Structures are given as C-alpha cells and as structure tokens.
Amino acid sequence: MGITYFALGMLSMLALFFIGVIVWGLVKVLRIERQIVAMKEKDKFEFDNIYRRLDIFWRAVGDHKDDSNKAMDNLWREVTIKFDESIRYTDKRIDKSLNQKEIQ
C-alpha cells in the first residue's frame, strides 16, 4: 500500500509539473501574441506616418514644380518680348540706314 501511495504521489507531482509547464507555456504564448499585436499596431502607425509624410513631400514637390513652371513661362515670355524688341530695333536701324543711303 505504501508503494501505491508513493507512486500516486509521484504521478500527481509529475502531473502538477506538466500542468505548471503547460500554464507557463500558455502565459508565454499569450505575452508573445500581445507583443505581436502591439508591433503590428506600431508598424501600421509607422507606415501610415511614412505614407502621410511622403504625400506631404510629393504635394510640396508638385507645388514647387507648378511655381517653377510659372516662373519659367514668365521668363520665357520676357525673353521672347526682349528678343522681338531687339529684332524690331535692329530692323528699324537697318531701314533707317538704308533710307539715308537712298537719300544721298
């Protein structure tokens, strides 16, 4: 009878040990699961933040592009006007020179 109680005691201790290991493993798994969920939320926030920053950057680039296009158009218009004026002035001087030669 003593051996039976000893064997039942050892089996119950072994069962308690296995239950303890299982509970410890479940606790570890649940902690890791919580950490994974937290990391996913953090990553989602970071990705959203990165996309938001990229969107702001591309909008700023687009605005600067529009501004530079307008400035280049204005500059081109001014250069064209000055070029046309210089051609007109040169033509006027040539005509005046030719008219003076015809008079002489």
Q: What is the pLDDT of residues 9-60, one digit of tens each?
A: 999 999 999 999 999 999 999 999 999 999 999 888 888 888 888 888 888 8
| SS3 state at 62 | helix
Strands (E) across 36-88 are located at none
Residue 39 to residue 34: CA distance in whole angstroms? 9
**In a 10 Å sphere around its CB, with 0-12 CB exposed, 13-18 middle and 19+ buried, how is residue 41 labelled?**
exposed
Q: What percent of the chain has pLDDT over 90?
A: 42
**pLDDT, average across residues 70-78:** 90
pTM: 0.45
pLDDT digits (tens, 9 = 90+) for 47-62: 888 888 888 888 888 8
